[in-house]
Amino acid sequence: MAVEDPYLWLEDVTGDEALDWVRTRNAETLEALTSGERFAALRDEIREVLDADGRIPYVVRRGAHLYNFWQDAGHQRGLWRRTTLSSYRQAEPEWEVLLDLDALAEAEGENWVWKGAAVLRPDHRLGLVELSRGGADATVVREFDLDAHAFVEDGFFLPEAKNRVGWIDADTLYLGTDFGPGTLTNSGYPRLAKEWRRGTPVEQAKLVYEAKPDDVAATAYHDPTEGFERDFVHRSIEFYRTELFERTASGLVKVDVPDDARASVHREWLLVHPRTPWTAGGVEYPGGSLLVIGYDAFMAGARDFTALFTPDAHTSLDYWAWTRHHLLLATLHDVKSELRVLTPGPDGWAEAPLGGAPEFGSAEIVDTEPDVDDEYLIDSSSYLQPSTLSRGVVGEEVEVLKQAPAFFATEGIEVSQHFATSEDGTKIPYFVVRPSGAEGGPTLLTGYGGFEVSLTPSYSGVIGRGWLARGGTYVVANIRGGGEYGPDWHSSAIKANRHKVYEDFAAVAADLTARGITTPARLGIQGGSNGGLLMGVMLTRYPELFGAIVSQVPLLDMRRYHLLLAGASWMAEWGDPDVPAEWEYIAEYSPYHNVHKGRKYPPTLFATSTRDDRVHPGHARKMVARMSEQGHGVRYYENIEGGHGGAADNKQLAFKWALVFEFLWSRLAG
């Protein structure tokens, strides 16, 4: 049923009338929040964190070099550069600059934002550089010669689109792009996967696979691993359902695993990570497990899997990474990281701890080079421990390569984990980072609760400087919808059960008050994207629990979300508003439809980006317009650049965070 919406005109992203409205709201917010000394101090201190020379230059190893992308005060748009391991071990590595984005942006008159590069294996000489205008998801693709430090004249080029591109060999690519009407899915992603040869018009690229219009996307890719060269097509049916095909000389052959499972092929092995229980070879494996079998044997009909990981009530699989001879597993035990190494041998798979995770912290395998050796790079941190980047080789001593500086004093600050009881009795974990004497004081609670995203403990100089160092308490809620306890933790709170996400977050807020950690008047909350939707639901459903709310790049109009930008790809999470039975439960929490005149709401700041081409800025615009019409006090800020991250460089990012903290401090400090 169509519902009259008087603010549809605000969905015209760059329309004159809509942008005039944005400028007016921005001016009101900036006048109210940016004129004081505290805002300037917050902005400058956060900028120091973001631009600090002592930050770890994170790298990936490809061949003989370590590659890094770096931004600081002198290089706001950034440098793509590389060095060697021996040089990287030094306090001041010698960097070979491949591409200076600030110089490129100035020379070409474009606001380029780095979006990564796909480098051709194994010689790593040619790259496909992706550049975004203003930080949007849509990119321009340009071929780059790493040895010459220059773009390839008359090389591969794709105009701005949500491109999917990768190497087959030096003269051939797989690509998906906007080929014209009917070539994108309803979600706005490529539905045609093609093979494109150098020197031919892109229009003549050979069709490899065509997805359906209501699929999310289709992608083809080449695995160049020596001795195991294969080509695959990946069909995303919806966010959690996929199909994988091997492209052979005789056509596409399906890798016959459940469509809700994640399947990956590495050398001789097939890994399967089912989301729901799966029976194979007469054995039932639980959802969240990790199974392995020989790939060729599986394709020939074998189903005698080995279970490498089986979840329990407290432990879930977070991710995995291959080295040349080993498989590294990262698990979460009550949201704290644990690392293990598994090794195949004639007697099966041997298992040993890998180590490297701090208490109440996380450890992330940031890179391996499985073509070559058993090296791995691991980054470990906690809420109070700055990052340490270490290099290990399986079976050898771990070497510390870099340590990040501390950006705030931690003496007297403690970290604890608690469990709140949600409405249906489920125990919901949350972490509290609290300075001494902060009882009952200003508290910032954040959460996400969607898409199997896990919020693990990690160090943040921005949170430290802007919040903890000023006496605030910081809380992270591990609510359902995330992946902290495996696929069930997520799937138990989608579609008709989405209300559980919001009940969980409200339970944590109430528990903070019950424990005396804070009071409703001094409890602020903040979240972005799906977390921005969470903030909108808290605003409209539980306003009495909070003293201030910040909702960033949010979804809020859940009646139209599937019609805007990439929204159709998320219907597996929330449901289809065009199906009456599904709109019935979505309507219960859609913030845009549940804000009412005459009800008291806490002060709220909505922030978004004009260049966000993932979550439409119209969500935040329309919510603010409706709340303003109803007489509610509400602030709004829209950055012109930034994409879905809300900021295109460190200057914008520091400004954005200072705005958030100033808003919260001014409402919660009392």
pLDDT single digits (tens) 414-463: 999 999 999 999 999 999 999 998 999 999 999 999 999 999 999 999 99
Task: Please give the average per-residue pLDDT across 196-203, as a whole number.
Answer: 96
pLDDT single digits (tens) 517-532: 999 999 999 999 999 9
Domain ranges of the chain: 8-48+407-668, 314-405
Q: 405 preceded by cis ω (within 30°)?
A: no
pLDDT single digits (tens) 258-305: 999 999 999 999 999 999 999 999 999 999 999 999 999 999 999 999
pLDDT at 352 (0 to 100)? 94
201 Cβ partners below 8 Å, 6+ apart? none
Structure tokens at 23: 């400028």
Task: Please give the average per-residue pLDDT across 479-485, as a whole number.
Answer: 97
pLDDT at 355 (0 to 100)? 67
| Residue 670 confidence class, pLDDT cut points 50, 70, 90 | confident
Q: How many CB atoms lie within 10 A of CB 541?
A: 17
**Distance separating alpha carbons of residues 354 and 329, to the nearest angstrom:** 9
- The rounded mean pLDDT for the chain is 96
Q: Which of these is catalytic: 289, 387, 460, 529? A: 529
Task: Please give the average per-residue pLDDT across 131-140, as a whole number.
Answer: 94
pLDDT single digits (tens) 304-322: 999 999 999 999 999 999 9
Task: Please give the average per-residue pLDDT across 88-115, as a whole number.
Answer: 97
pLDDT at 499 (0 to 100)? 98
Weakest mean pLDDT among 191-195, 427-431, 437-441, 605-609:
437-441
pLDDT single digits (tens) 168-185: 999 999 999 999 999 999
Q: Are the C-beta atoms of residues 616 and 565 closer than 8 Å to each other?
A: yes
Residue 590 three-state SS: coil
Residue 211 three-state SS: coil
Q: Which CATH superfamily is domain 8-48+407-668 in?
A: Alpha/Beta hydrolase fold, catalytic domain (3.40.50.1820)
Instruction: Inform me whether the pLDDT recorded for 542 exceeds 80.
Output: yes
Is residue 644 part of the annotated active site? The answer reads yes
Q: How many CB atoms lie within 10 A of CB 357?
A: 24
Q: Are the C-beta atoms of residues 583 and 560 closer than 8 Å to each other?
A: no
Query: For residue 434, how many C-alpha atoms fall within 13 Å in the half-sphere facing its CB?
Result: 20
**Distance separating alpha carbons of residues 34 and 659, to the nearest angstrom:** 7
Secondary structure element (H or E) that encloses residue 85, with its range = helix 85-88
Q: How many CB atoms lie within 10 A of CB 230?
A: 14
Secondary structure element (H or E) that encloses residue 298, with its range = helix 295-299
Structure tokens at 495: 């579609």
Q: Are the C-beta atoms of residues 17 and 9 closer than 8 Å to each other?
A: yes
Q: What amino acid occupies position 330?
A: A
| Residue 644 confidence class, pLDDT cut points 50, 70, 90 | confident
| pTM for this entry | 0.94
Task: Please give the average per-residue pLDDT across 528-557, as a whole number.
Answer: 98
Is residue 454 part of the annotated active site? The answer reads no
pLDDT at 583 (0 to 100)? 98
Q: Can you spell out the DSSP letters for 215-256? A: SSEEEEEEE--TT--EEEEEEEEETTEEEEEEEETTEEEE--
Task: Please give the average per-residue pLDDT across 212-223, as a whole number.
Answer: 97
Task: Please give the average per-residue pLDDT across 512-518, as a whole number.
Answer: 97
Q: Which of 162, 263, 160, 142 is nearest to 217 (CA)?
A: 162
- Count Cβ atoms within 10 A of the Cβ of residue 519 and give its class: 0-12 exposed, 13-18 middle, 19 or more buried: middle
pLDDT single digits (tens) 571-603: 999 999 999 999 999 999 999 999 999 999 999
**Distance separating alpha carbons of residues 515 and 129, to the nearest angstrom:** 51
**Distance separating alpha carbons of residues 242 and 260, to the nearest angstrom:** 6
Task: Please give the average per-residue pLDDT across 155-173, as a whole number.
Answer: 97
pLDDT at 2 (0 to 100)? 47
pLDDT at 1 (0 to 100)? 38
Instruction: Inform me whether the pLDDT recorded for 357 exceeds 80.
Output: no
| Strand order from edge to edge, sheet including 361-368 | 361-368, 375-382, 388-393, 399-403
| Strand order from edge to edge, sheet including 269-273 | 262-266, 269-273, 290-294, 306-309
- Count Cβ atoms within 10 A of the Cβ of residue 147 and give its class: 0-12 exposed, 13-18 middle, 19 or more buried: exposed
How far CA 457 is from CA of 326, 381, 432, in Å, comes to 26, 8, 10
